Amino acid sequence: MKISVSRGSSVETQADALILPIYEDEKELRGAAGILDEATSGAVGAVLKAGDFRGKRGKTAVLYPDVGLRSRRLILTGLGKRGEQEAEAVRGAFAAAAREARNLRLSTVAWEAEEGFFDAPLAEAAGAAVEGVRLGLYTFDRFKTQNKEERHDLEGFTITTGAKNPPKELVSAVERADVICDAVVFARDLVSTPANHLTPRDLAAAAVGLAKGRKGLGVQVMDEKEMAKRGMNALLGVAKGSAQPPRFIILKYTGGKRKDPPVVLVGKGLTFDSGGISLKPAEKMDEMKSDMAGAAAVMGTLRAAADLSLPLNIVGLCPTTENLPGGNALKPGDVLTSLAGKTIEVVNTDAEGRLILADALAYAQTLKPAAVVDIATLTGACIVALGDIAIGMMGTDEGLKGKMRAASERTGERVWELPLWREYEELIKSDVADVKNSAGRYGGAITAAAFLKQFVGDYPWVHLDIAGPAWLTKDRPYIPKGASGIGVRLLVEFLALFSP
């Protein structure tokens, strides 16, 4: 879809449909809404007065004015009540309008961005509008062979402004949002891809393709021999049950000074997780192709960072493997020696994500990072605690957690902090090794983070558990059910806040 900004007003704009956002139960039509109502001989006001459309979130109405507009249709879309999570309201409203336009098989839509309509800055609202349109229209139909000719996509979204020259902040926000949406779509596609079409080697190939042609972005991929030479036995232990060899993906983006320490992002990359010998229930096991959503988020973030030329150094680490119950598979009771030299008793082979992250976090220490953030579909316990709405956040550095909260507020990708008190570390002590990989059912999201903490060292660190929101079973306003791409927008905003 082509996203563009141009000079003009709603009345003058020619598109298949104009989008007009409306706040719930506002009595006076102001600005563009008032102008459009007057130009269409009161058509907007009439539908509001009749009560057929009240501006509630997620609701739309299509008008076909006979006079006054160069565009044939007017799509009213509800923002809900003023002041309630405004950027999220804008994303949802524009997603609903875009889906309505797609259902009508339209090709182009337009919206007049006017100062003073939103409580938020106009540039921020425009970026949210782009995110709503782009992300709300996402579909994954790579493997569909029937009825493809019936699919219809919007081709263009034009944002107009009455200014002689569109404000630079507005243009910049729109372009930035478009780049970030590309990265989210990239991540969603990876997570949606079935495990037989996305093996660890395929994920590594995607990383190589991602780096190709992007300024400042390089990639290195370790195979199992290199990992064995370095002592990544926790990752290799998980991989033993699968015929597919593991890979360790390193993406390096250099946007700052070469001597500046990097921000290291670590993403869990289980391209399929059966649970291993500690086998998962059959129900919904098909969704375990999404257990590499952390790696997808890291890869998408590095893509956006390079495309946006962020002024800092970033390293993305993605340990990737399958977890299957093959003849060589890891067994409960086995002991592994990690890259950090610490020994791990494996009491549950379905607690495998923290094993591969342990080696990745130990590797991150060798980079002498400014900060470390890991993101992973790590625990069912986090879903029990927070559902599929929020990301569980834990960590050792208040400054990092503060930046992550601020990024969360701006993007709508919510984080909620769970405690990481020293008492939880007592629960992962092993009788036969340094630590064990599971402390049982209670407090599972926290004890998993307490396990990871053992491999971070003294570097500032934040852990993000995205097990809940990474894969949705119902549509959200601008997130169709399935892969959400969670973490990309959050991490890009976090990195922007981290930038000098």
Q: Which of 56, 72, 230, 280 is catalytic?
A: 280
Q: Which of 354, 403, 436, 489 is catalytic?
A: 354
Asked if 214 is an active-site residue, the reply is no
What is the distance between the alpha carbons of residues 57 and 292, in angstroms, rounded to a whole number? 32
Length of the chain: 500
Closest by Cα among 454, 434, 229, 246 to 346 = 434
Per DSSP, 341 falls in state: S
Asked if 280 is an active-site residue, the reply is yes
Residue partners of 27: CB distance under 8 A and separation at least 6? none
What is the distance between the alpha carbons of residues 131 and 126, in angstroms, rounded to a whole number? 9
8 Å CB contact between 342 and 431: no
Question: Taken in order 156, 186, 393, 175, is the CA torsion positive or negative?
Answer: negative
Pairing of strands 415-417, 391-395: parallel
Closest by Cα among 430, 462, 433, 276 to 361 = 462
Residue partners of 267: CB distance under 8 A and separation at least 6? 292, 294, 295, 296, 297, 298, 299, 316, 317, 318, 374, 375, 376
Active-site positions read: 280, 354
